[in-house]
Amino acid sequence: MKLQIDKKEFGLMIEHDQVKKRIRLIGTQINVSYEKQVPVFIGVLNGCFLFMADLMKEIDIAAETCFIKLASYQGDQQQGEIKEIIGLCVDIKDRDVIIVEDIIDTGNTLHYLLEKIKEHKPASVAICSLLLKPAKLQHTFPNLAFVGFEIPDEFVVGYGMDYNGLGRNLKDIYKACD
């Protein structure tokens, strides 16, 4: 199945049923890993909103949620500068933190965020990302604990991810066609 978004063509990459199954598994892993803790889930907007909403439905342990907003993309190109648009809204000192990302490609935004979070002295920080592009990573993240899917270095849209602000509402994940 192909679709067009803002004059760019996309083809189906990951169906929603696969996404749901993977999120259930990640939720189970987090419930076991944090059984006796009360973690703070920090969602990185805008892309994480569908993933985090579905993930939180699978979390059975006590937990708090918070959102931040960083910007590093324009269209389908990642820009060098990272802008903090909405900051941290909860005290995370001595707390277990789980950062929830929609996608990690170069890792520049995540690296920036981790440096900011470390300043607040959390007890621990784990990273949970729906998608990971290992071939594009420019940083190592030893605390990358939960990954939904590893994908090739392709531009994707859907399930919270956008192209020029469009396509976030698609339930499946699509890749750009050449």
Rg, the chain, Cα only = 16
Instruction: Please answer whether residues 32 and 140 qualify as being in contact, where contact means their C-beta atoms are separated by less than 8 angstroms.
Output: no
Q: Is residue 22 part of a domain?
A: no
Which residue has 């949970």 as its token pair? 128
Q: Which residues are catalytic?
A: 105
Task: Assign 81 a pLDDT band (cuts: 50, 70, 90).
Answer: low
Q: Once rounded to an integer, what is the mean pLDDT over residues 44-73? A: 91
Q: Is residue 53 part of a domain?
A: yes
Task: Identify the residue with better confidence: 135 or 109.
Answer: 135
- E strand segments, 122-161: 124-132, 144-150, 156-157
Q: Is residue 177 part of a domain?
A: no
Q: Is residue 43 part of a domain?
A: yes
Instruction: Please answer whether residues 69 and 44 qualify as being in contact, where contact means their C-beta atoms are separated by less than 8 angstroms.
Output: yes
Q: Is residue 142 part of a domain?
A: yes
* Structural domain that includes position 126: 38-154
The answer, as to whether pTM is greater than 0.85, is: yes
Q: What is the mean pLDDT of the chain?
A: 91
